[in-house]
Structure 1
Amino acid sequence: MTADSRRLQPRKRPRQVRAELTRQRILIAAAHVFAEHGYAAGTTNRIAEQARISIGSLYQYYPNKDAILSELLFRHLDAAATEGPGLEEASLEGIIRNLVRAAIENHRDDPQLLRVLIEQAPRSPELLEKIDQYERSRAAYIRELLGNHPDVRVEDTETATRLVVSTIELVVHKVVAAPDPIDIGRFEEELVAMLTRYLTW
């Protein structure tokens, strides 16, 4: 483990219920602080104050704000990984809709926080590895879909896989995390239509 990686590691993993609750309070407070103040102004002092604990108590769990932000991003990726749809969906449009909707739901809870996580969170080797695993898993699902679904007409399924995965992840993040609001229902319909037409054209 590199020195930079160690900076992003929690100091300890709670084994008692009380300690786990304190850790959760820190993470909830940090999410609020980062969303409201951004990365630069999201100090550990502000996080401790929001969590209503002493700064010393916070440092018992996390060595710095980068470690807290990194853990929040890990949690975001874990949530995304558990929301993938299954291949049993009969309609290609239904499958694409499930993919798009899962991405939207995972992004819309707190778009301001998400912007900080994606654009400003430090990148440790462990975090980069987790992101890579998530992207590989999602790509494998799409690749299997394109290779087996009877409605798919694209010939180059490898390129199509990359286009679908990247389009859903990047467009949903860009639109949902943007400061100006959008009609989420209309956005979902248009993105589903765009991808479905591309795959069946």
Structure 2
Amino acid sequence: MYAARKRPRQQRSRHTVEVILEAAAQLFQRNGFNATSTNHVADRAGVSIGSVYQYFPNKDALLVALAERHLDAALRGLGSVFDEIRRADLGLEAALRVLVGAVASAHRDRPELHQLLFDQAPRVPELVARLRDGERHLAALLAAELRRMGRGGPDAEVNALLAVQGIEAQLHGAYLHPPAGVDREAVVEAVTVLWCRALGEPLVPDHATGGHDHLERRHAPGADHQV
């Protein structure tokens, strides 16, 4: 019901599908999901309604395909962010500023469509599985960087997964809909500071090495931002 009827194999077919999806994205963003019909999408795309139905049986299938496209683009973009972090050999705070900034930027791009996809795209098993696989992939990249920095606490992999999921959820909520009197850049700063603190623990607990310097440093004014 929600899946595309078939996957395009030829270049021309792939182009047609992209045109249809872009038309749907523009109409969903401008008019809303309920006010948009498949006939509207066909007219906007400049194709016949039969061409739409050749690939998408209904509007829900269009929405799922858009969610897949959005997810794939986000994963590619964040993968490039981790390449940048690794090449620049960034510390924790600088790395998180790049990462949180990239996630915020993705939310700035067509926010109404982003909200629609989050709220109304059917949670089909294939889409959920792709999301979870993507989260685990990004968490592995983040965990590797945390280990390079000697940060992330005694279980960097778990903490990295919590960070990947948490940053997305926090920005989706508070960035798209900030509290009264708070601008979006303040939200980005708050999320960055929060995860600097959460991920700033050393890989090896101090009690394992017999030292207490880190505990004292953690509670010193401004110490949470030393990376």
- TM range, normalised to the smaller chain? 0.7 to 0.9
Unaligned runs of 5+ in 1: none
2:60 is the counterpart of 1:66: yes
Structure 1 residue 9 and structure 2 residue 4: aligned? yes
Alpha-carbon displacement from aligned partner over 1:54-100 (angstroms, at most 9, x marks no partner) = 32221122221122111111111111111231334322112111211
Question: After the TM superposition, which of the residue ranges 159-168 and 71-80 deviates more from structure 2?
Answer: 159-168
Matches within 5 A, 1:88-107: 88=87, 89-107=89-107
**Cα deviation per residue 1:2-32 (whole Å; 9 max; x = unaligned)?**
xx4xx41243415143x43332221111001
Instruction: Decide which structure has the larger Cα Rg and report it.
Output: 2
- 1:180 Cα deviation after fit: 8.7
Q: How many residues align?
A: 194
Distance 1:10 1:184, change over 3 A: farther
CA, structure 1 residues 53+153, in 2 after alignment: closer, same or farther (shift >3 Å)? closer
Counterpart check, 1:40 vs 2:39:
no
User: Greater CA deviation, 71-80 or 83-92?
Assistant: 83-92
Percent same amino acid among aligned pairs? 37
RCO comparison, higher one (Cα < 8 Å, 6+)? 1
Deviations 1:124-153 (A, max 9, x none): 222122111101111212223333313x36
User: Does the 8 A contact of 1:138 with 1:165 survive in 2?
Assistant: yes
Structure 2 regions of 5+ residues with no counterpart? Answer: 201-217, 219-227
Name the structure 1 match of 2:136.
Answer: 136
Contact 2:135 2:165 in 1 (8 A): no
> Contact 1:9/1:67 (CA < 8 Å) preserved in 2?
yes
Over the aligned positions, Cα root-mean-square deviation in angstroms equals 2.6
